[in-house]
Structure formats: structure tokens, C-alpha cells
Amino acid sequence: MDKTEARAILDEHLARFSRRAFSELVPLVEARHVETFEVVGSSGTRYQVEIEFIWDDQPGGVIRILADIDDGGIRAFFPLGRSELVSPPEGIRA
């Protein structure tokens, strides 16, 4: 797996969700939603991306967006991962 290419793909898809409003992410957390999709990198490598939404510490607090990527090889057992935190607006709890 080309780690540079994989990180760039992962960062792009993670940013799609981390830029959303906290109020848009709450239903994804509460539904235990997981996004899974395939992406073909510029090298022609097929990657599987998985994005999950969870409460970081306690319900109604900070949301952690977890993102993993692998190429279906040995990395499927040890995916490359990243995460982002999205805080509720000040004074607001979900």
C-alpha cells in the first residue's frame, strides 16, 4: 500500500465529515452509522475506506470520527487510521 496516497485519500474523506455541523453528526453517532466504500487511487490501487462516528468521552459531548483505509492485502488486518474530534457548540449538548 502506498501510505502517502492512502493518507491523502483518508484525509480527504475524513474532512468531508469533520467539516459538518455538530448537529448533523449527532444522528450518525446515535444510529451507530458506519460508512464503508471503495476508492481507486491515482496509482490504480483499490482502497476500502471505513468511517465511524462515536461519542468520544460521554454521550452528548465531543464526537470522534474514526477513519480507516486498507488495500485488501495484509493492511486489511492493520489498516491505516486517523481520527478527528468535533466539539458541540459552546453551551450546547446533544
Minimal CA–CA distance to 10: which of 58, 63, 81? 81
Sequence ranges of the domains in the chain: 3-86
The CA distance from 64 to 1, in Å, is 26
What is the model's pTM? 0.87
Is the pLDDT at 94 greater than 80, yes or no? no
The CA distance from 9 to 88, in Å, is 26
- pLDDT of the residue at 93: 59
The CA distance from 1 to 94, in Å, is 39
The CA distance from 26 to 22, in Å, is 6
Residue 81: pLDDT band (50, 70, 90) is very high
